[in-house]
Structure 1
Amino acid sequence: MQRLIYESAWDKTIAAQDRKMIEEIFNETLEENGLNVTFPLIRSALNHKGDLLVTCLIHNFGSEPFFIEDTELTYKEDGALIAEMAFTTPQVQLPPQTSMPWTFIFPKALIHKEPAHTGGKLDFK
């Protein structure tokens, strides 16, 4: 059975309202669709430096642990490429059948197109 966990810093600082929203998205996106790892979107935003913040759930439906190590991800909106980057994130170590929220930061220099923050999808390249 899939379970939801939080990285320790998230668990200590997340607002109750955000935790509730994440739990709702978790419950709504539990269908595997034959994929071992999926990234249902929670939200996207630009920070004060113009970097793109993409917050998602990482679902590891597989039977093996999942790590973010030189993992190429793309962020698209309505099929149009907005940003892409290879990530190494030691904090993301997902045991089998586990999900957790995470924010991926795409630096401003790697943004191909101004995001509209609608119709977004994070996926493997």
Structure 2
Amino acid sequence: MLPFFRKKRDGQPKMEGNESTVSSEELLNETSETETSEKHIHTGLSFHPEWTVSKEDQYSFQFLNMECPDLKPNQISLSGISLQQEKDGTYQVTAFIRSSLNKTIKLHETTLVLLDSSDNVIGRKTTDLEEAGEIPPRSSRPWNITFTEQELFTPEVPEEGWKLAFQLKPSSRKHSLDLQDSWEQSLAEKDKNELQDMVEKLDPPKPGEVNFMGLKAVQKENGDLHVTLLIRNGSTKSITLEQIPLQVEDASGTTIAKGGFTLNDFGVKANTSKPWTFIFPSSMVSEDNLDLSSWKAYPIQKNMTH
């Protein structure tokens, strides 16, 4: 059921609720693939393919969408349109689901809270927003959420000034695997699954911690040393690695290789681990007979930007 739009004095529809925004990284562990210099992003109107919308309601949605403030990069927002009581006692909340990302997103099961004008929680429900479909890049999609009497904590539901918001639980999110596109395309599914299982079984990094874990070290016939590390990000934000000076020690504790690596657009998403292979040319390898029965590699220093 589409909302009945309450009108302003000038006859135009008006937004009854306020807006709440969250970081797309916090909600979905997603950011735009390419950086943008834009500070303000307008979201275009998008209807679910199965919605049938009259011309009058299309106009009203378009007008209200233009009333919404621009978003910042990498934001998801809920903008309250209307809140109406139905004949069965339930309340239907209609809101724009808005995304400033440069790519299509899909939401999943999430907990939503209904807040009054003082940000007091007056309702809470868990709903599967996957039903809202794929949200196109930089778009606003109107969607209906029904709150039952049991999901509302007060009989006094305000007509205006309320807010629908995501209830985030970052601590419950599993530490997961993040693969660079080149790895995603070249790795066999079996190898991806093994890496994912390993990442999930390891104790996650401490909150805010970034560390390096050795996976594999092999010296090739030409003398080059290939070292594969798992870069583990325990932060709630993505990190970008630009330059990494690395040092490798063999089983005897002897430094066998040392060198600096420059990385281009190499990011590790929040709360994920990313594998990467660093190749030390034979000229950087200081020993002829390497004992790689055990070894360790670590950055001499880290240069990271958030």
Q: Normalised by the shorter chain, which TM-score bucket?
A: 0.7 to 0.9
What per-residue deviation string (whole Å, max 9, x for no partner) do you get for residues 49-68 of structure 1? 32110012110112443333
Give 1:72's aligned residue: 245
Q: Counterpart of 1:107?
A: 281
Report if the CA contact (8 A) 1:74-1:124 is conserved. yes
Cα deviation per residue 1:92-111 (whole Å; 9 max; x = unaligned)?
21122221111011111111
TM-score (norm 1): 0.82
Equivalent in 112, 120, 123 of residue 295 of structure 2: 120
Correspondence 1:1-125 to 2 at 5 A: 1=173, 2-32=175-205, 36-78=209-251, 79-113=253-287, 114-125=289-300
Report percent identity of matched pairs: 25
Question: Counterpart in 1 of 2:96?
Answer: none
Which structure is higher in strand share?
A: 1
Provide the C-alpha distance between the structure 1 equivalents of 2:293 and 2:229, rounded to a whole number of angstroms: 14
Alpha-carbon spacing, 1:40–1:24, altered in 2? closer, same or farther (3 Å): farther
- Per-residue CA deviations over 1:44-84 (Å, capped at 9, x if unaligned) read 11234321100121101124433332221111123321111
Quick one: which amino acid aligns to residue 76 of structure 1?
E
- In structure 2, list runs of 5 or more residues that go unmatched: 1-172, 301-306
Aligned length: 125
Paired with 2:189 and 2:273, the residues of 1 have a C-alpha distance of 18
Q: Take 1:35 and 1:122, find their aligned partners in 2: how far apart are those partners?
A: 21
Q: Which has the larger radius of gyration?
A: 2
Residue 223 of structure 2 aligns to a residue whose secondary structure is coil
Please give the secondary structure, in 1, of the residue aligned with 2:194. helix
Q: Tell me by how many angstroms 1:41 deviates.
A: 1.5
Structure 1: distance between partners of 2:278 and 2:202: 19
Q: Which moved more, 1:35-44 or 1:15-24?
A: 15-24
The alpha-carbon distance between structure 1 residues 50 and 59, as it changes in their structure 2 partners (threshold 3 A), is same
Structure 1: 5+ residue runs without aligned partners? none
CA distance in 2, matches of 1:112, 1:74: 11
The separation in 1 between residues aligned to 2:236 and 2:290, in whole angstroms, is 34
Displacement after TM superposition at 1:33 (Å): 5.9
Report SS of the residue matched to 2:262.
Answer: strand
Return the structure number with greater relative CO, CA threshold 8 A, min gap 6.
1
SS at match of 1:109: helix
Change (3 A) 1:39 1:108: same
Q: Structure 1 123/61 Cα, relative in aligned 2: closer, same or farther at 3 Å?
A: same
Other structure's SS at 2:293 match? coil
